Amino acid sequence: MKDSNFLAKWLNSEITEEELKQYVSEEEISAYKKIISATDQLEKPDFNLEEALAEIKKTKDKTSVRKLSFINYFYRVAAILTVIISSYYFISNKTTNYATNLAEKTVFELPDQSKVHLNADSKITYKAKNWETNRTLKLKGEAFFSVQKGSDFTVKSNLGTVQVLGTKFNVIERANYFEVICYEGLVSVTYNKKTVKIPYGNSFKLLNQTPQLIENIDGKQPAWLENNSSFKSMPFSYVISELERQYDIAIEYDSNYKERLFTGNFTHNNLILALKAISIPMNLNYIIISDKKVRLAAE
């Protein structure tokens, strides 16, 4: 069933609710039910044909009154239909958003049962309408995708676009940094009007507009899914930003360390261990000023 009259058919009991779910989400179906329930509460005017004919014979005035009553009822019904139609188009074209705060992660499913893990301080936006043929979403932050096979699956960001058919991959889009790691299948990445293919076990980095292809990536999924952040030759400023993001704190440190490269990792479950993990390799000490503020200083 590929025609566009599925809502009317459902209202007329020509298709089941399960069949309707092929075209709209459960949230949209719930909204339709609320609208229909509201219309059911309206009282229908009593109308007796014999009484109406008698009234017509008595006086023309009463006839006009009866006509006005019918017209008012007609307008009420028309208004309700307008609300239903307007609500349908509003729901069908609305945007779905998932967002995380600092020190927060979440996981959810897209309309095709593709799974998304969203890292801290990140956001995904998409439209559920026609998702099966237009699987496109916008990412700000970091997310790991496990995509069901189907039409092209596209992840757009400010720094680049990722496209796949069905695979597992991780995308990071932060300030001046864009990275795509392919954990299964093949990923296509477009940036600055250039396209590169990233096979399983490889990654693509774009740091300060400088591209880099890296082979032989370890693991079957990103470290952050196991509450751990891992870095290899990354600017220390990026490492600090990620730690701030995972713990919802502010870190003060000497700006001379910003561009120094860091290789290592830190846990998301223990702030003290995390601070030690990033400070010791850089010959720094950490000072906890408050619950929300830390200072790093040279030894």
pLDDT value at residue 68: 45
Is there a single domain that holds both residue 294 and residue 186? no
Q: How far is CA 15 from the centre of its chain?
A: 30
Indicate whether 1 belongs to any domain.
no
Domain that holds residue 256: 227-298
Indicate whether 30 belongs to any domain.
yes
Res. 14 pLDDT band, cuts 50 70 90: confident
Is there a single domain that holds both residue 185 and residue 122? yes
Indicate whether 52 belongs to any domain.
yes
Nearest by Cα to 95 from 155, 39, 137: 137
Domain boundary among 174, 191, 214: 214
Indicate whether 222 belongs to any domain.
no
Under 8 Å between Cβ of 236 and 282: yes
Res. 218 pLDDT band, cuts 50 70 90: confident
- What are the respective helix, strand and coil percentages of the chain, to the nearest 5? 35, 35, 30
Is there a single domain that holds both residue 202 and residue 240? no
pLDDT tens digits, one per residue of 56-87: 666 555 444 444 455 555 556 555 655 555 55
CA dist., res. 72 & res. 53, Å (int): 20
**Between 15 and 119, the higher pLDDT residue:** 119
Helices 26-40 & 60-93, crossing angle to 10 degrees? 170
**Between 193 and 14, the higher pLDDT residue:** 193
CATH code (residue 256) = 3.55.50.30
CA dist., res. 52 & res. 57, Å (int): 9
What percent of the chain is modeled with pLDDT above 70? 72
**Between 217 and 211, the higher pLDDT residue:** 211
Indicate whether 68 belongs to any domain.
yes
pLDDT at 52 over 70: no
Per the rule left: phi > 0, alpha: psi between -120 and 50, beta: everything else, 141 is: left
Domain boundary among 29, 60, 93: 93
pLDDT tens digits, one per residue of 133-192: 999 999 999 999 999 999 999 999 999 999 998 899 999 999 889 999 999 999 999 998
E strand or H helix at 125: strand 123-126
Mean pLDDT of 237-257: 97
Mean model confidence pLDDT for the chain: 84
pLDDT at 100 over 60: yes
Least confidently predicted of 13-22, 95-104, 106-115, 213-222: 13-22
Is there a single domain that holds both residue 108 and residue 182? yes
Is there a single domain that holds both residue 112 and residue 166? yes
Q: What type of residue sits at position 230?
A: S
CATH code (residue 144) = 2.60.120.1440
Indicate whether 220 belongs to any domain.
no
pLDDT value at residue 69: 55
Is there a single domain that holds both residue 141 and residue 240? no
Is there a single domain that holds both residue 81 and residue 103? no
pLDDT at 292 over 60: yes
pLDDT at 219 over 90: no
Is there a single domain that holds both residue 113 and residue 37? no
pLDDT at 38 over 80: no
Is there a single domain that holds both residue 153 and residue 117? yes
Indicate whether 219 belongs to any domain.
no
Mean pLDDT of 267-283: 97
CA dist., res. 227 & res. 265, Å (int): 11
What percent of the chain is modeled with pLDDT above 90? 62
Domain boundary among 93, 109, 135: 93
Is there a single domain that holds both residue 137 and residue 121? yes
Is there a single domain that holds both residue 242 and residue 285? yes
Put simply, whether the predicted model's pTM sits higher than 0.75 gets the answer no
Is there a single domain that holds both residue 70 and residue 174? no
- Give CA angle at 165 (127, 89), nearest 5°: 15
Q: How far is CA 184 from the centre of its chain?
A: 22
CA dist., res. 189 & res. 115, Å (int): 20
Indicate whether 195 belongs to any domain.
yes
CA dist., res. 10 & res. 167, Å (int): 35
Q: Looking at the 3D structure of the chain, how many domains does it have? A: 3
